[in-house]
Structure 1
């Protein structure tokens, strides 16, 4: 039986960003240097395939420091942690390695600097997301107010409307965030914003590629985990940019083929914590059903690299 023809649009850039790549290398290097087990507080990045792979190599994933023994190394995830976590680890004389993405650390430093200047912080982010929890936990309770939507801005109870600054989670929708920033600036004209966009380069680049791809593709598959903020934003951005069907899949087995019946083109991208091997798996699954022609949609090139902490670069 002849396979129907299909154009496969591949977004570039897609998949791993420099912060995710660094975090995974940190766990692997810690296992090499200290041996197994190495404990990791929270999923190192939000991807089941990556976490399972590291677990097989000897990483033990826990939710809290209480679940770690004092005598084994512990790694903090790429999303960042509240200040209380390294403080507790130091008090217990634990060996800990911080895998917080440097672009998340930049937001932490920014929030602290504004706090030192007497400003209260407004954080644009998702309640309960580990990055939001980590950033808000850099300052004492009440010093960071959270907003998730433009509507939340109207209910903000600021200490002093003239002494405010805002920061954002690094993995948000660029367009949604712009709407919230506009609402903040309308209500608090003197609010101070970041010197440079807090939403990271990788999030922005992947969303731009999806917007370009949405103009070409009948449907879109975003490879990523349900708890990955940046992956879920890619689904929303694709739908908003005109791609009538936008689906999040962890693995090829998750693809809803019935929903794709009758289409002639599919766009594929991957969130910043999804490895390329999963993209290849999805492409192979599409090839099995269609006569595929691959086209690339490239909107940026990335050559960012972050060093791992010195403690892991030093030989034992």
Structure 2
């Protein structure tokens, strides 16, 4: 039986960013240096395939530091942690490695600088997300106020409208965040922003590639995890950019084939914590059902690289 033709627009860049690549390497090098088990507080990155692979190599994933023994190394996830976490690890004289993405650390430093200058901080982010918890946890309770939407801006209770600054979670929708920033500036004209956009280069680049594809594709598949903020934003960007159907899939098994019935073009991308092997799996599943022509849509080139912490570069 002849397969129906399908044009597959493959986003570039897609998948792993420099911060995710670094975080995974940190766990792998730690296992080589200290042997198993190495403990990891929270998922190192938001992807089940990655976490399961590291677990098979000897990583033990826990939610809190109290779940870790004193005599084994512990790694903090790429999303960042409140200051109280490394402080407690130091008090317990634990070996710990901070895998916080350097671009998240940059936001932490900004928040601290604003606080030292006497400014109250408004954070644009998602309540309960580990990155938001980590950033807000750099400062005393109440020093950082959280807004998630434009509507929240109208209600946020500030102490002094003349002494404000804002920071953002690094994995947000660029367009949605711009609307919230505009609302903050309209209500608080004196509010200070970051010198350079907090939303990271990888988030921005992946969203731009989706926008470029959405105009041509009838459907969009985003490879990523349900708890991955940047992956979920890619699904939203696809839908808002004119793609009639935009779906998040963890693996090829998650594809809703009935929803794709009759399509002739599809976009495929991956969130910053999704490995390329899962993209290959999705492409293979499409090729099994369609006569696929792949067109790569490249909107940016990435050459960012982050070193692992010094403690992992020193001999054991």
Question: TM-score, normalised on structure 1?
Answer: 1.00
Q: Deviations over 1:38-93 (max 9, x none)?
A: 00000000000000000000000000000000000000000000000000000000
Secondary structure of the structure 1 residue equivalent to 2:302: coil
Secondary structure of the structure 2 residue equivalent to 1:157: coil
The residue number in structure 1 matching 2:167 is: 167
| Distance of 1:140 and 1:159 partners within structure 2 | 15
The residue number in structure 2 matching 1:214 is: 214
| Distance of 1:107 and 1:30 partners within structure 2 | 26
**Matching of residues 34-49 of structure 1 within 5 Å:** 34-49=34-49
The residue number in structure 2 matching 1:3 is: 3
Instruction: For residue 314 of structure 1, report the CA deviation from its aligned partner.
Output: 1.0
The residue number in structure 1 matching 2:246 is: 246
Q: Matched residue pairs, number?
A: 316
| Distance of 1:158 and 1:138 partners within structure 2 | 19
Instruction: For residue 315 of structure 1, report the CA deviation from its aligned partner.
Output: 1.6
Q: Deviations over 1:110-135 (max 9, x none)?
A: 00000000000000000000000000
Instruction: For residue 205 of structure 1, report the CA deviation from its aligned partner.
Output: 0.1
The residue number in structure 1 matching 2:227 is: 227
Q: Deviations over 1:258-307 (max 9, x none)?
A: 00000001100000000000000000000000000000110000000000
**Matching of residues 128-147 of structure 1 within 5 Å:** 128-147=128-147
Instruction: For residue 216 of structure 1, report the CA deviation from its aligned partner.
Output: 1.0
The residue number in structure 1 matching 2:55 is: 55
**Which stretches of structure 1, 4 residues or more, deviate above 4 A after TM superposition?**
none
1:109 aligns with 2:126: no
Instruction: For residue 253 of structure 1, report the CA deviation from its aligned partner.
Output: 0.2
Aligned-residue Cα RMSD (Å) equals 0.3
Secondary structure of the structure 2 residue equivalent to 1:104: helix
| Distance of 2:251 and 2:296 partners within structure 1 | 21
| Distance of 1:154 and 1:220 partners within structure 2 | 34
Instruction: For residue 14 of structure 1, report the CA deviation from its aligned partner.
Output: 0.1
The residue number in structure 1 matching 2:121 is: 121
Question: TM-score, normalised on structure 2?
Answer: 1.00
| Distance of 1:79 and 1:234 partners within structure 2 | 18
Secondary structure of the structure 2 residue equivalent to 1:256: coil
The residue number in structure 1 matching 2:283 is: 283
1:259 aligns with 2:234: no
Secondary structure of the structure 2 residue equivalent to 1:262: coil
Secondary structure of the structure 2 residue equivalent to 1:108: helix
The residue number in structure 2 matching 1:306 is: 306
The residue number in structure 2 matching 1:181 is: 181
1:82 aligns with 2:78: no
Secondary structure of the structure 1 residue equivalent to 2:81: coil
Secondary structure of the structure 1 residue equivalent to 2:16: coil
Unaligned runs of 5+ in 1: none
